[in-house]
Amino acid sequence: MQCTELITKILNKKNKKMEKQIQNLNKIGEIAKNFHMNCRTFTDSVKNKIDLLISGEDCVIIEVSHQPNFMPYYGVWKKSVFAHYLVNFLEEKRIPAVALFGFVDQDTTMSPFLYRNKIPYYSKEGYKNIGFKIKGENEWWRLWCKQPLPPLKEVEKQIDFLITAYTNCGLSRDDEDLIQLEKLFRACYINSNSFSEANAKFFSKICNEMFDLDVIFFIYSEVQKSNIFTNSFEYLLSKRREYVDIYNKTIEQRGLELEKVQEDHVPFWYHCECGGKVRLKANEIGENIILKGTCPICKHGFEIEVGNDFDLSAIYKSISFEAVSRELIVPDVLGTDVYVEGLGGSLLFRQISDVIAERLRFNKPLTVRWKSHDKYVSVILHKIIFDFVRRYSISSLKYKLQDMDTNYRIIYEKIAELDIQQDTLKKELKRYKHQSNEFLTILERLRDINLRKKKLNAEIARLSSILLNIQRLSKAYNTIPSIIDEVVSVGFDNVLKHWMSDLKNNDFDIEHTIKLPVKTVKGVDYKAIVTFIDFIENYPAGGESDLNTI
């Protein structure tokens, strides 16, 4: 599908926004304005879009959401680029549109992607972790927006590591993209109030400043304070039994690899003052409903009475979505027309929310995905690959490694034959006196066998070493890294240029690969790198030499 066809679908499905939805979008505009002013990304294009929301004009709403992860991989950034592209495509047709990107900062810190990521690296794993650690026995249960910034010395240590990692591999210290990245890193991770805020600022800086996108960002924890979701939470709570029933039946009918929820399940989380996220259970006593739960951090118990009218007015600032309820409530409250989704685990929850939305009459927007995958060779690997190719001819390696199983078998068979000869000669040696001609002759033959065995073992070690190097380089090449590596290896401008070109020229809903050109490192012949990459991408499967299983 290309954008022209999608726009037709959007316009055919679009309904005029209700007055309440327009009011909600107005509030989102004010909240987003505060975020962009604080982040210093209140560009002219951002201002124009926020003004459109605040003015109350009925426009197409394109929605994106994601946790404010630590420098996530390219797929997350592509969602914002895709949303921007769709908005501009609509505007060319004189159809007002706004792209809204919500940072879901109320998740727990259990996912390591929130606070760390990776870059390609020549190692056993094929990558090097970047980012920080969350310490403390129960810290994983804390709200992400409550996690403090890492200590300043840890931030500076991480900046130094990244600069060293790239400059040691041949990238100039004066590289503009590396310098810009360092400035952004330092500005965002030193001048913020929480870890999630720093991540959100970094994301906005790149999107709104470096890529010049007109995507509007807002933070869920701030929106929760505005009370725009409360009525929808109350409605969903009133339909709790139906919600649970549809949820579990959808898992069963579609064979989804998700856990079913309990009969007393409550479709949202409660936040303890200590920062912990509390799983609530509904306890019905006559017509009265009490929500109960225990904080996993401070162990404080809660009993929240909501009555038979499901009144959440006293606690709305202290609740947040679970995966499915977010996909029901937010598009309904905002009147979302198009939701740009990723390629991860959210697709499973989407199957459940689609069924519930239809049964309980929530707004169900069109969902779209940009099914492209980026391929490039990190500048970190250029010198390592070039040095490897200079040592070993790829043309000869191709045949040698293709027959690795055969080579190993032949060598081991030869060693086994020599072992038998060795045992036979040792037994025969006992029959003769020391220094006799027969004894010395046999001894010479044993020395020759030992020498041949050493050469064969050395050949096995050499082949194994070559294979190990290829495996490590293959792992590093196939690592899906943080955006850091992509913008440093390809360049901020070049990344955006190729993404936009792909959206213009290819069907976004068909799986395809975007091959990105990379910077050259002084003293490296890129033809040799291309030859090596072609070799590992087309390497045949089989036995110990199977690189496809790495």
Contacts of 458 (CB under 8 A, 6+ apart): none
Asked whether residue 173 is domain-assigned, the answer is yes
3-state secondary structure string across 302-314: EEEECCCCCCCCC
Copy the structure tokens of residue 21. Answer: 């939805």
Nearest Cα neighbor of 235 from 146, 123, 357 is 357
For residue 76, the tally of other CB atoms under 10 A from its CB is: 20
pTM over 0.75: yes
Of the residues 127, 161, 193, the one at which a domain ends: 193
Asked whether residue 227 is domain-assigned, the answer is no
Please report, in tens digits, the pLDDT of each residue of the chain (550 residues total). Answer: 777 888 888 888 888 899 999 999 999 999 999 999 999 999 999 999 999 999 888 899 999 999 999 999 999 999 999 999 999 999 998 999 999 999 999 988 888 878 999 999 998 899 999 999 887 767 778 889 989 899 999 999 999 999 999 999 989 999 999 999 999 999 999 889 899 999 999 999 999 999 999 999 999 999 999 999 999 999 999 999 999 999 999 999 999 989 999 999 999 999 999 989 999 999 987 778 899 999 999 999 999 999 888 999 999 999 999 999 999 999 999 999 999 998 665 778 889 999 999 999 999 999 999 999 999 999 999 999 998 888 887 776 666 666 666 777 788 888 888 888 888 888 887 787 777 787 788 788 888 888 888 888 887 787 788 888 888 999 999 999 999 999 999 999 999 999 999 999 999 989 999 999 999 888 888 888 888 888 888 764 333 333 332 2
**pLDDT score of 324:** 94
Asked whether residue 68 is domain-assigned, the answer is no
**pLDDT score of 319:** 94
Asked whether residue 90 is domain-assigned, the answer is no
Number of domain units in the chain = 2
Residue 304 Cα distances to 291, 293, 301, angstroms: 5, 9, 10
**pLDDT score of 44:** 94
Helices (H), 93-175: 152-167
Of the residues 166, 193, 220, the one at which a domain ends: 193
For residue 231, the tally of other CB atoms under 10 A from its CB is: 15
Q: Report the C-alpha gap between 180 and 163 in whole angstroms.
A: 11
Of the residues 150, 169, 193, the one at which a domain ends: 193
**pLDDT score of 278:** 94
What is the span of the domain harbouring residue 534?
376-492+521-549
Asked whether residue 343 is domain-assigned, the answer is no
Asked whether residue 143 is domain-assigned, the answer is yes
Copy the structure tokens of residue 549. Answer: 């299983």
**pLDDT score of 412:** 80
Torsions phi, psi for 71 (to 5 deg): 40, 65
Copy the structure tokens of residue 292. Answer: 């109960």
**pLDDT score of 164:** 94
Asked whether residue 312 is domain-assigned, the answer is no
From edge to edge, which strands make up the β-sheet containing 301-305?
301-305, 288-294, 277-285, 265-271, 319-321
Asked whether residue 263 is domain-assigned, the answer is no
**pLDDT score of 550:** 24
Q: 125 near 475, Cβ under 8 Å?
A: yes
Phi-psi region of 272 (alpha: psi -120 to 50; beta: other; left: phi over 0): beta
Q: Report the C-alpha gap between 485 and 495 in whole angstroms.
A: 11
